Amino acid sequence: MSDAGTPPTRRSVLAVAAGSCACLGALGPLGAFGAGLVPRVRYEPPLRRKVGRPSEVAEGLTFRADLGVFLVRKETSFRALSAVCTHLGCTVSQEGEGFHCPCHGSAFAADGRNVAGPAPRPLPWRPLSLAADGALIVDLGAEVGPEAVLTVTEGA
Amino acid sequence: MSDVPSPRRAPRVLRDWLPGTPREAADAVVGNLLLHALPAHATKAALSYRASGWLGTACAVLFGITGVTGTILLVLYVPSVERAYASVKDLETVVPFGSWLRGTHRAAAHLMVVAVVLHLVRVFLTGAYKREGPPGAARPLNWLVGLALLLLTLGLSFTGYLLPWDQLAYWAVQVGTRIAASVPLVGDATREALLGGSVIGQPTLARFYALHCFILPSLTMGLIFWHLWRIRKDGGLAVSDRVAADAVARARAQPPPAGRTYAILGATKGGTVASVAPSALLAPESVASVPNAPRRAAAVALVCLALTCVFGLAAAAPLEQAADPSRTPNPAKAPWYFLWLQELVSDLTFKVGGFVVDGTLLGGIVVPGLLVGLLAAWPWLDRSPREAAGVWFHPARKVQNRVFLAGLLVIALLTVVGTFCRGPYWGFVWPWDPVPTTPTRL
């Protein structure tokens, strides 16, 4: 570095340039090693999960703790409502007609609408489908309207 | 060696710590690595309990206690989703004094939060962060280091919460990382980086383990050393500035007989007392740092150790049921020092016409962020005169002290409401009411 007032010499300019390049180069391995912190493989449960045979689902509302959903059966029609509060992800539980969240007091109506508390959105309905072996499959990564119903007539 | 034996001579190993003569006291500061952080002389005011409460020392000691207990816990704990809970259960039931060890670690962590906050309150109410100080002082910088240490203390507490892998742990992290995700643009990436994926699992535990046991403690230790070093660079405690200013004013009012002490010191030119270094005037108000400062520090350390050991025995660290991602405890409460945030997150969601104010972002990020930002900017907002530095409740700082205390009161009230007045589904209950089994519709 040259002092203020004196013109930079060729040597000082080269020294600053080389030093800057070396410092920039040092960022390379730092970035490369840090990249390891972003996982490439995720050992997480799948979003499409088997629920079981339609005949095993009881009439009315059933909470499936393993899936984090409420199954709603009305005779031959099936629907699945997420039990994960849209506020901060706690599991809601059924209370009277609707659902309440234990963490911050959100409340939802029977159709999933958020009616009280800090929850910003209704509880999402999850699409149900039938696997080749006749079992119900819920897709926890997708969302459908409350009117979307899976009707199963055989083996229910 | 021309050692003249003196009757007060301490054994050689202890000579630095218990010097018999002023010369030995000064040598100790120069020659001993640990004592080197101290000035040769300190004002009696700076060493008093009344000026500072020795709260900063208490914070450092409590951090040390978590370090020692944490090191033992480190080798007994297994950071795996399958075995973490069982290893903590072993600590509670099998390991000799394991429950006491864990309780003491937790007590020291909780007391550290208390001590750090009280230290902040003391520094604020005495105006000890003020810009105006002796030449070379940069007390606002040390105030910022202190704020970073407060945030690190809370970060250490939060990351420590996950490790037992019980219900409390799981849901605290679920809620905490979702609050982080509410930040626009970078929120989701932050949550993914903390969790090491999109759900809480083994990568999450590994990350929190690394944060809690290595990354945050190293940062904290580094900042503590910087914090302590800055106190020296800033000319000691702010209360000493005032004592020095008083000494100069006194000397000005009563000039000593001309040509005596001060002429010998060679510090005066033209006989004016004002040019005399305050340290020369401070002789009656100051004492040798060694052994007075280490003696008090040792007393504070022993009190902290006694308190944590007793608290750790009296209030064993809770361990709830093993983490169950499908069932949330009802109500699910954060640790007490985060309950005011949980209250804010719950209460700050409201509708203005058709527009819904997002309480998660507002209460979880914006309000705490603004509070920290305001505290950080305070040394530059404080316009009180320099005489207000190092004085408890100086009249010139009356308004800002009241604003500060009012803010603390609000946080304390929210904490009390969150602790005692929240029942199932976070519904409001009076502490004396029986807890309703079926809450009324909100």
| Pair A82, A68: CB distance under 8 Å | yes
pLDDT at B277: 56
Selecting from A37, A68, A96 the residue whose C-beta is nearest the C-beta of B441 gives A96
Interface check for A43 against chain B (CB to CB < 8 A): the answer is: yes
Q: Do A96 and B438 touch (CB under 8 A)?
A: yes
- The DSSP letter of residue B261 is H
Chain B CA closest to residue A34: B193
HSE of B298, CA atoms in CB hemisphere, 13 A: 9
pLDDT at A95: 84
pLDDT at B304: 96
Which residue do the tokens 């010369």 mark? B23
pLDDT at A115: 86
Within 8 A of B178 by CB-CB distance, chain A residues are: 87-89
Q: Do A103 and B171 touch (CB under 8 A)?
A: yes
Q: H or E stretch including B248? A: helix B238-253
Tens digits of residue pLDDT in A89-126: 888 988 888 898 888 888 899 888 888 888 888 999 99
Higher pLDDT, A87 or B369: B369
Average pLDDT over residues A18-36: 92
Which residue, among B245, B414, B303, has the nearest Cα to B53 in the 3D structure?
A: B303
Q: Which of B56-70, B202-216, B308-322, B327-341 shows the lowest per-residue confidence on average (mean pLDDT)?
A: B327-341
For residue B222, pLDDT over 70 is answered with: yes
Higher pLDDT, B250 or A25: A25
Superfamily of domain A48-151: Rieske [2Fe-2S] iron-sulphur domain (2.102.10.10)
Calculate how close chain B gets to A94, using CA atoms only, in Å: 11
For residue B9, pLDDT over 70 is answered with: no
Percent pLDDT > 70 in chain B is 89
pLDDT band with cut points at 50, 70 and 90 for residue A27: very high
Q: Which of B22-31, B81-90, B125-134, B348-357 shows the lowest per-residue confidence on average (mean pLDDT)?
A: B348-357
pLDDT at B329: 81
Selecting from A89, A91, A96 the residue whose C-beta is nearest the C-beta of B178 gives A89
Calculate how close chain B gets to A57, using CA atoms only, in Å: 19
| Pair B339, B333: CB distance under 8 Å | yes
Within 8 A of B179 by CB-CB distance, chain A residues are: 88
Average pLDDT over residues B200-214: 95
| Pair B376, B137: CB distance under 8 Å | no
For residue B381, pLDDT over 90 is answered with: yes
| Pair B346, B357: CB distance under 8 Å | no
Which residue do the tokens 């007032």 mark? A5
pLDDT band with cut points at 50, 70 and 90 for residue B3: low
Q: Do B442 and A39 touch (CB under 8 A)?
A: no
Within 8 A of B358 by CB-CB distance, chain A residues are: 120
Selecting from A44, A87, A88 the residue whose C-beta is nearest the C-beta of B198 gives A44
Q: Do B198 and A42 touch (CB under 8 A)?
A: yes
Which residue do the tokens 């009315």 mark? A60
Average pLDDT over residues B193-219: 94
Choosing among A37, A86, A100, A104, which should be mutated to test the B contact, i.e. which has the most B CBs within 10 A?
A104
Within 8 A of B199 by CB-CB distance, chain A residues are: 44-45
pLDDT at A2: 46
Q: Do B331 and A102 touch (CB under 8 A)?
A: yes
Chain A CA closest to residue B332: A103
Average pLDDT over residues B143-164: 95
pLDDT band with cut points at 50, 70 and 90 for residue B440: very low
Q: What is the dihedral of CA B229, B231, B148, B385, to 10 degrees?
A: -150
Tell me the C-alpha to C-alpha distance, in Å, between residue A3 and each of A6, A7, A9, A12, B98: 6, 8, 11, 10, 63
Tens digits of residue pLDDT in B280-335: 677 788 888 888 999 999 999 999 999 999 999 998 888 888 888 878 887 778 88
CATH of domain B43-328: 1.20.810.10
Max mean pLDDT among A9-23, A58-72, B8-22, B337-351 falls in A9-23
Which residue, among A104, A107, A45, has the nearest Cα to B179 in the 3D structure?
A: A104
Higher pLDDT, B433 or B213: B213
pLDDT at B8: 59
Within 8 A of B327 by CB-CB distance, chain A residues are: 65, 91
Averaged pLDDT score across all residues of chain B: 86
pLDDT at A102: 84
Interface check for A91 against chain B (CB to CB < 8 A): the answer is: yes
Calculate how close chain B gets to A117, using CA atoms only, in Å: 7
pLDDT at B273: 45
pLDDT at B299: 95
Q: Do A95 and B179 touch (CB under 8 A)?
A: no
Interface check for A65 against chain B (CB to CB < 8 A): the answer is: yes
Angle at alpha carbon of residue B162, lines to B416 and B428, rounded to 5°: 25
Q: Do A39 and B201 touch (CB under 8 A)?
A: no
Selecting from B202, B326, B356 the residue whose C-beta is nearest the C-beta of A66 gives B326
Domain boundaries, chain B: 43-328
Q: Whole-angstrom Cα distance, residue B323 to residue B168?
A: 8
Q: Do B331 and A43 touch (CB under 8 A)?
A: no
Q: Do B438 and A45 touch (CB under 8 A)?
A: no
Calculate how close chain A gets to B405, using CA atoms only, in Å: 27
Which residue do the tokens 């280490």 mark? B294
Selecting from A68, A91, A100 the residue whose C-beta is nearest the C-beta of B439 gives A100
pLDDT at A4: 65
Selecting from A38, A87, A90 the residue whose C-beta is nearest the C-beta of B360 gives A87
Tens digits of residue pLDDT in A39-95: 888 888 889 999 888 888 888 888 988 888 999 998 889 999 999 998 888 889 888
Chain A CA closest to residue B206: A37
Average pLDDT over residues B172-194: 87
pLDDT at B441: 35
Question: How many residue pairs from chains A and B have C-beta atoms closer than 8 A?
Answer: 99
Interface check for A112 against chain B (CB to CB < 8 A): the answer is: no
Selecting from B199, B359, B441 the residue whose C-beta is nearest the C-beta of A44 gives B199
Tens digits of residue pLDDT in B254-294: 766 554 554 444 444 444 444 455 566 777 888 888 889 99
pLDDT at B438: 46
HSE of A105, CA atoms in CB hemisphere, 13 A: 25
Whole-angstrom distance between the N-terminal and C-terminal Cα of chain B?
A: 85
Choosing among B215, B438, B442, which should be mutated to test the A contact, i.e. which has the most A CBs within 10 A?
B442
Calculate how close chain A gets to B170, using CA atoms only, in Å: 10
Tell me the C-alpha to C-alpha distance, in Å, between residue A1 and each of A8, A80, B278: 7, 69, 40
Q: Is A137 exposed, middle or buried (0-12, 13-18, 19+ CB in 10 A)?
A: middle
Chain B CA closest to residue A115: B442
Tell me the C-alpha to C-alpha distance, in Å, between residue B161 and each of B115, B190, B317, B403: 19, 19, 11, 32
